[in-house]
Structure 1
Amino acid sequence: MNPSTGRMMNRVKDIYLFIREKGTVSTQELVDEFEMTQRTIQRDLNILLYNQLVKSPSRGKWRVTNKKVKVS
């Protein structure tokens, strides 16, 4: 795995863990917390959404799903 892919995977994992810890968060909260652009955060959320790890109960709000995840 190349270094940029590794950084991206770590960032996606951190975003997932942050959402899991906080409950429901907004996209803007993620932008502020991770100091990334909204586009980067949205791209990472799309990865989590594709893998059914997060859902958006209302526009711009995110929470984790009940899907079992082993975090290492």
Structure 2
Amino acid sequence: MKDRGDHVGAVAVLVHPDFRRQKVGCRVVATLAFLARTRWRLLQYTTVAENVASQRLALRLGFRMYSRERVWWV
């Protein structure tokens, strides 16, 4: 994450199935959250309702739910 003033970016973290349940995603998201906090940035964590593991990871790292959205695909 390079500091570019007021720039807001989005990051996706996808873990290959061979490396899941080894805390890889947790370490990556924790590092991104640390970098965002040290640069006075707000980090938004987005996941789908069906991804319970992702929701647990977010809660474990201190994220709090503030909205639910319905997403429609065509």
Task: State the TM-score, normalizing by the size of structure 2.
Answer: 0.38
Q: State which structure, 1 or 2, has the greater radius of gyration over its C-alpha atoms.
A: 2
Identify, as 1 or 2, the structure richer in strand: 1
Identify, as 1 or 2, the structure richer in helix: 1
Task: State the TM-score, normalizing by the size of structure 1.
Answer: 0.39
Structure scoring higher RCO (CA < 8 A, sep ≥ 6) equals: 1
